[in-house]
Chains A and B, each alone.
Chain A
Amino acid sequence: MNAPAYNFAYLDEQTKRMIRRAILKAIAIPGYQVPFASREMPMPYGWGTGGVQVTAAILGPQDVLKVIDQGSDDTTNAISIRKFFARTAGVATTTATDEATVIQTRHRIPETALHENQVLVYQVPIPEPLRFLEPRETETRRMHALAEYGLMHVKLYEDIARFGHIATAYAYPVKVNARYVMDPSPTPKFDNPKMDNCPALQLFGAGREKRIYAIPPYTQVVSLDFEDHPFEPYRFNAPCALCAAENSYLDEIVTDDKGGRMFVCSDTDYCESRQAAGHHGSQSAAPYKEKAQGGSHD
């Protein structure tokens, strides 16, 4: 029987070079989806195989890796991916956003501002922002090539006509460098503004769909909207019950079966750092009720 023996960070060097070429092309054309020969990874498609391949291709022995899922370092899939790289690459891992050189994420951008020497790697399920408007790859590629984005605005128009608002809460489409419309991965729209003019390199990997795309540092990223219906990030209007943060994205925790709710930071590292620095919240919140003071919360 062939006994398996694996390379540093699992992928063989030839595959890594192929992925790095795709990454370089992606950086050169911000927001453009570069096809790449995604490998079958030892974890299921749709569970971060794209992000894992990107991370594997850029990871060096000196790197410090952080992996989050839903903002948390301790969700099972984040643990599983962190262990995978600890085992196959032997790199140092951390939960502190500041200390990491590579951060792989699913569905969130950390609250702590990123800096120039960091790479944020997103796991992407469906890279094509036009996919649910036009299922055919041949057609969507043509639409991108010709910058024909009228259909995307039709969708936004329909939302407003029906609901009075743009009814997209996550995976909110953006235009990168005034050219390509891009799917930011299913991050809540709260995170969209963090992508704009970000000092860190942002890489996006979609394994099952075999696409890599990128936002180079300090690139303009604009959320699509109308002048009279501007993009608005959403955040539940309450301080974090644990660290009293007023500006972080919150998880809603169901505390009982009688409508009890509390809201805490989804970014666990951010929340814990604030608590360590002496910030304390109420630790419990009234059942579903936003702060009494007025003002729009989204």
Chain B
Amino acid sequence: MYVAVKGGERAIENAHRLLANARRGDQSVADITLDQISEQLGLAVDRVMSEGSLYDRELAALAIKQARGDLIEAIFLVRAFRATLPRFGASEPVDTGAMRVQRRVSSTFKDIPGGQILGPTFDYTHRLLDPSLAEGFVPEAPATAEASTAPTPRVTDILGRDGLIEPSPQAEDGAGVGDLTREPLNFPANRDLRLQNLARGDEGFLLAMGYSTQRGYGRNHPFAGEIRFGEVEVEFAAEDVGFAVPLGSIELTECQMVNQFKGSATEAPCFTRGYGLAFGQSERKTMSMALVDRALRARELGEEAIAPAQDEEFVMSHSDNVQATGFVEHLKLPHYVDFQSELGLLRKLRKEFAEANAPDAMKEAAE
């Protein structure tokens, strides 16, 4: 006798208990703390904050712990929490020119006002596994100096002073900043929405898209004008106070790519911009973002859009890893009834095919 499957509810509850145990692992090993994640897996925290689009190191660390180190799952947790937060308004634009720079490199000029600052970087490390890190490692103290008071103007501003690069496109006065988490997205989308989409976009997806432009699929000859990482102030213009109130400081990485020039009979030629910005130290992400941002400006700059990275609808519809993972993984859900309908159709078609291709003798016998 057949009994329909029951007990799904109990199964779910126990699956959650199994997950909790698997997450904790061997209980004789110490429980990992949020501080440890935030301090020692800082780049993972940065990525979760960026793609989760919520600047909160502690919540991001919690999400990483809860997700067992699965960063896309952690981003998802942060996003779902973010969706429930009330909005008080938008901050003033942050001034990255006034950034307290910890690292700053330019590939376009040997020396720039404020200097090149190597800072903490994997660059020029030899990728040799280091057994001394396995336990109790104490790093040597780095050399330090008084923070320089010299200004560190952005390389694009230096170029811009001579008109060698296009001015940063400005929004129309009074035009609000779009927010694709609050309004439905329509195509074609403006650059504010494109940049928001890329900032939230999956690092791996942007890396592949940016890489494809370098290999000729929508090439636009980039130079890394500048990559800078450091702290900036965030201010909020409170209407009833009448001036901007500082909310605190956050760490940002900014990348400005300098790209092939445009020009026409009526316009002097100048370099064009590609822009990347992310929370924390996220150089791979911001560089990829700047390449893709520039590629997506094809329409605006009168270039023929033929490569995937230039296709706004393609890039923006597939960049979000929370959306992508949900839809890919939904294939795990039951599809019994569709499959049954498909099976019925396939059996019928196969039966008709067999009849049509049967030897004549059989056909006659059947008639």
Measured CB to CB, the residues of A under 8 A from B are 1-2, 4, 6, 10, 12, 35-42, 44-47, 49, 69-72, 74-80, 83, 106-108, 125, 136-138, 163-165, 167, 169-171, 186-190, 208, 210, 234-236, 241-242, 249-253, 255, 262, 264, 266, 268, 271, 283-284, 297-298
**Which chain B residues border A250 with CB–CB below 8 Å?**
340
A196 to chain B, nearest CB (A): 18
Given contacts A40-B82, A137-B313, contact A284 B2 (CB under 8 A): yes
Interface size class of B (residues with CB under 8 A): 35 or more
A209 to chain B, nearest CB (A): 9
**Which chain A residues border B335 with CB–CB below 8 Å?**
70, 107, 186
B325 contacts chain A at the CB level, 8 A cutoff: yes
Contact B326 A45 (CB under 8 A): yes
- A-B contact sample (11 more), CB < 8 A, given A46-B330, A106-B333: A37-B183, A40-B79, A41-B80, A71-B337, A74-B7, A74-B8, A125-B330, A170-B341, A264-B2, A271-B4, A283-B2
A245 to chain B, nearest CB (A): 14
**Which chain A residues border B344 with CB–CB below 8 Å?**
169, 234-236, 297-298
- Given A44, A108, A164, A268, which contacts B337 in the complex, CB threshold below 8 Å? A108
Given contacts A137-B187, A241-B2, contact A251 B79 (CB under 8 A): no
- In this complex, what residue of A is CB-closest to B325? A44
Report, nearest first, the 9 A-B pairs whose CB atoms are least far apart. Answer: A45-B326, A46-B330, A44-B326, A35-B184, A188-B341, A169-B341, A46-B327, A170-B338, A40-B83
Question: Can you list 30 A-B contacts with CB-CB less than 8 angstroms, sorted by A residue number?
Answer: A1-B58, A2-B59, A4-B84, A44-B330, A45-B326, A46-B326, A47-B326, A47-B330, A70-B335, A74-B4, A74-B7, A83-B9, A107-B338, A125-B330, A138-B313, A165-B349, A169-B338, A170-B342, A186-B335, A186-B338, A187-B337, A188-B337, A189-B341, A210-B184, A234-B344, A249-B337, A249-B340, A251-B337, A266-B340, A283-B1
B348 contacts chain A at the CB level, 8 A cutoff: yes
**Which chain B residues border A253 with CB–CB below 8 Å?**
2
Contact A42 B80 (CB under 8 A): yes
Given contacts A35-B184, A40-B181, A136-B313, contact A169 B334 (CB under 8 A): no
Measured CB to CB, the residues of B under 8 A from A are 1-2, 4-9, 11-12, 56, 58-59, 62, 76, 79-86, 181-188, 313, 317, 322-323, 325-330, 333-338, 340-345, 348-349, 352
Contact B338 A266 (CB under 8 A): no
Contact B2 A242 (CB under 8 A): yes
**Which chain B residues border A125 with CB–CB below 8 Å?**
327, 330
Interface of B is mostly: helix
Given contacts A45-B326, A76-B11, contact A266 B341 (CB under 8 A): no
**Which chain B residues border A171 with CB–CB below 8 Å?**
338
**Which chain B residues border A42 with CB–CB below 8 Å?**
80
**Which chain B residues border A136 with CB–CB below 8 Å?**
313
Contact A41 B323 (CB under 8 A): no
- In this complex, what residue of A is CB-closest to B9? A79
**Which chain B residues border A46 with CB–CB below 8 Å?**
326-330
Contact B333 A252 (CB under 8 A): no
A5 to chain B, nearest CB (A): 8
**Which chain B residues border A266 with CB–CB below 8 Å?**
336-337, 340
Contact B2 A188 (CB under 8 A): no
The distance in angstroms between the C-alpha atoms of A251 and B327, with both chains bound, is 24
Interface of A is mostly: loop
The distance in angstroms between the C-alpha atoms of A107 and B59, with both chains bound, is 36
Contact B329 A44 (CB under 8 A): yes
A87 to chain B, nearest CB (A): 13
Contact B186 A47 (CB under 8 A): no
The distance in angstroms between the C-alpha atoms of A284 and B5, with both chains bound, is 15
The distance in angstroms between the C-alpha atoms of A174 and B342, with both chains bound, is 18
A37 to chain B, nearest CB (A): 5
The distance in angstroms between the C-alpha atoms of A249 and B344, with both chains bound, is 12
B347 to chain A, nearest CB (A): 9
A82 to chain B, nearest CB (A): 9
The distance in angstroms between the C-alpha atoms of A271 and B182, with both chains bound, is 43
**Which chain B residues border A234 with CB–CB below 8 Å?**
341, 344-345
The distance in angstroms between the C-alpha atoms of A284 and B352, with both chains bound, is 28
B310 to chain A, nearest CB (A): 14
Contact B322 A45 (CB under 8 A): yes
- Given B1, B340, B341, which contacts A284 in the complex, CB threshold below 8 Å? B1
**Which chain B residues border A268 with CB–CB below 8 Å?**
4
A139 to chain B, nearest CB (A): 9
